[in-house]
Amino acid sequence: MKNPADYLARHVFEARRPRRELQPVVAYADAVQALTQALADAEKYKYLLMRALRRHADELAAAQPTAPTTQTPETPVLPMYPAGLPLAA
């Protein structure tokens, strides 16, 4: 994976602002190009990560023995308001 500075390494130049030291400056077009490249790389890494996670989940599911599921009785659902009380309008 690239370091964020690697996208702008060849595009950066230094400029002196009045009464200040040299500061790195990037042209707008170069910054947009670097961002586009970084987003494309992020999509590629996202795809590779998701594929690896799916493969790992499939391997775990295949390795674990299937245990019979036990049915638990459902919790009864009680009304929030008793039937005898009128609802506020």
80, part of any domain: no
What pLDDT, on a 0 to 100 scale, did the predictor assign at position 11?
61
78, part of any domain: no
26, part of any domain: yes
Read off the tokens for 53. Answer: 């996670």
Residue 42: domain span: 4-63
28, part of any domain: yes
70, part of any domain: no
| pLDDT: which is higher, 84 or 47 | 47
What's the pLDDT band for 70 if we cut at 50, 70, 90? low
| pLDDT: which is higher, 41 or 65 | 41
The DSSP call for residue 77 is P
How many distinct structural domains can be found in the chain? Answer: 1
35, part of any domain: yes
pLDDT tens-digit series, residues 6-59: 777 666 777 877 777 887 778 888 888 888 988 998 888 898 899 999 998 888
Measured between its terminal Cα atoms, the distance across the chain in Å is 61
Residue 2 near residue 41, CB atoms below 8 Å? yes
pTM: 0.49
82, part of any domain: no
87, part of any domain: no
| pLDDT: which is higher, 89 or 77 | 77
